[in-house]
């Protein structure tokens, strides 16, 4: 069964460092998303991406965050200068275009020290 894969599964970084989280969405999907979940809290929308550009973003997704799809298969989330409060599980999701039917990866846990 096709699935969304994410790497790394866990990354520990120092505050102020840049982090790139990688995702390989399901191959025929057209919409891509990043969500984050702080431990024990709800799943928060960060950004959606369609047709090689951001289509929606939340207030959380400030100038420190960026996304790109560099090679037609990978979908990356970059955090330019990490802060302690960026520690969370980051989930990538993709959708074929069906309304809201998102398929999630297993997440990348980011720990900022």
Partner 1 sequence: GQQLNQSPQSMFIQEGEDVSMNCTSSSIFNTWLWYKQDPGEGPVLLIALYKAGELTSNGRLTAQFGITRKDSFLNISASIPSDVGIYFCAGQSQGTSYDKVIFGPGTSLSVIP
Q: Footprint of partner 1 on this chain (CB under 8 A)?
A: 4, 31, 33, 35, 41-45, 48, 50, 55-56, 58, 91, 93, 98-107
Give 48 or 82: the residue with its C-beta nearer to partner 1: 48
Answer whether 110's CB lies under 8 Å from 88's CB: yes
Who's near 78: CB < 8 A, 6+ residues apart?
18, 19, 20, 21, 65, 66, 67, 68
Give 70 or 100: the residue with its C-beta nearer to partner 1: 100
Give 1 or 14: the residue with its C-beta nearer to partner 1: 1
Q: Which 3 state secondary structure label does DSSP give 30? A: coil
Burial of 74 by CB count in 10 Å (0-12 exposed, 13-18 middle, 19+ buried)?
middle
Q: How far is the CB of 38 from partner 1 (least distance, A)?
A: 12
Q: How far is the CB of 56 from partner 1 (least distance, A)?
A: 4
Q: How far is the CB of 16 from partner 1 (least distance, A)?
A: 28
Q: How far is the CB of 84 from partner 1 (least distance, A)?
A: 22
Residue 104 has which token pair? 């999630």
């Amino acid at each position: 069964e096709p699935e969304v894969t994410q790497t790394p599964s866990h990354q520990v970084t120092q505050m102020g460092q840049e982090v790139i989280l990688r995702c390989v969405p399901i191959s025929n999907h057209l919409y891509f998303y990043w969500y984050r979940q702080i431990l024990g809290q709800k799943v928060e929308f960060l950004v959606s991406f369609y047709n090689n550009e951001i289509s929606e973003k939340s207030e959380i997704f400030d100038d420190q965050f960026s996304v790109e799809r560099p090679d037609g298969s990978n979908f990356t989330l970059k955090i330019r200068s990490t802060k302690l409060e960026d520690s969370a599980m980051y989930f990538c999701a993709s959708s074929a275009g069906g309304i809201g039917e998102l398929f999630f990866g297993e997440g990348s846990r980011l720990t900022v020290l």
